[in-house]
Structure 1
Amino acid sequence: MHMNSAPHLLAEDRPEYERILDDALRHAHERPDLAAVGERLNAVQLRTMALDATALITATAATEYEHYVKARKELRGPAEGAGQDSGHGSGTDDPNQSGAGIGAVVTVLAPVLAGTAAFIFLLSGYLLRLLNPPPSFASTMVAAGWFFAAVMAAAILAAAVGLLITALRNGSTSQPAEDAENELPEDVARAREAWRHALLERGILPFLRDALADPDAGPASRTPHRSANRIPKIGYSRPDFTSPDDGPASGPRPTFTSPDFTSPDFGGPEHELD
């Protein structure tokens, strides 16, 4: 990839771009050059404009972003390889995953099936009790209905406890985003910070300043990477056209004269020479 080309912003980095943009808008009033936010354009309008010009703004930090992506890719390379190797291992995780899947199905279906059975048995039993005389098995059906109702309550309680334990386990093993960033290697963290700084100082802030100065201009005309002092000029110049009068002196033009026609010295056939 050429260093001057702007790589496409990866989907995983777009939230970071939006966070930097939101932080710049949140602290806009602390900057004198952005103090006009809310007068001609508000923060929501500026954010929408900046999101529409994401490709143009991120192009101003293309070199830093390319370096950051490359460093991150090198960091993830061994980890991804190890993950793939573990996936092709002895397959001991398959029974565990299968067991976890069966447990989840039972946890979901048990309350539903027990509740359905309780409803059917209770309804049938109490309806049979209305008969005169009631059948002998009416009380048995009512008792069975209450039994399934108790099973449904126990299944719901077990499912709730299981969800609570899972949430606590995931909460204890998960790490905040700040801790994950602090654990990045120094070169990756430095590349990421360089990209953030370049994106803010060379992309987002100049875009917001230009948007406040000229709200009616299009996003391409206010994007910083279009300015002459940020990109090299293309090496060509306008051809020099001159008028014909500026050329070398022309020589004398040829002159033409009409042919000299004279009458013949002889007459017609009826005249003879003297």
Structure 2
Amino acid sequence: MNSAPHLLSEDRADFERILDEALRNAHDRPDLAEIGRRLNAEQLRTMALNATELIAAAAAAEYQHYAKIREDARSPVLAASSVRESVLDAEDDDPPGSGAGLGAVVTVLLPILGGTAALIFLLVGYLLKALEPAPAFADSMLAVGWFFAAVTVLGLLGAAVALLVTALRNSATQLPAQESPGRELPDEVARAREAWRHALLERGILPFLRDALADPSAHPTTPGPPRRVKHLPKIGYSRPDFSSPDEGSTDGQRPSFSSPDFTSPDFGGPDHQPD
């Protein structure tokens, strides 16, 4: 395979982690024991990052398989997203005066209004009861206040039940989160990812590091293929050699110009025409 698809941005973090791990454990490998003598780990890391696509090409087949398996595993997520959007669109299409909207308003306003009324009636009723003699309607004020207190409690319970129902309904259409490094992947996707990571390490990163250490012309800012590391050719320009021609050569002499020789014609008789 001559070329490989570019690594997606979500996979570049995996590439860097594998590279960092290889450099961190380089001294445990005899073939990478030269790290630190001519090129240190940071210089090798810079070189490898500059050659990311070329190194990744060594594991192109495994990466294509991993990307396909991962995309297929995400298809149910896209389907769930479509279902959720359909549900939300259906809810948005409800008329403004529907029962669901009225119920929400009542659920919110009932505890507020009921609690306010209960506080007013109870406060006035107990103030009237403190008078001597107490007015006859003080007991009625207290009864109305306790009625509104009961309405407030019922409103709070109704609001709690409505929130619970809404939470359960939303959880049914909630999208699963994208896989992250700390989240367990499906088995088939995890195996494909591990195969790509292993191929990337063994056929891409480690050969690149070995060749970079073995090549005396390698430079940390120069990208190169994973099997052959070379520096960029030195590009120089020399000034063209402009020299004056030799004075003795005829090629260098300036051309000489002489004015044309104009002579008057020899006019004579008719027997003597000019030649």
Query: Normalization by structure 2: what TM-score?
Result: 0.45
**Bigger helix share:** 1
TM-score (norm: length of structure 1): 0.46
Name the larger-Rg structure: 2
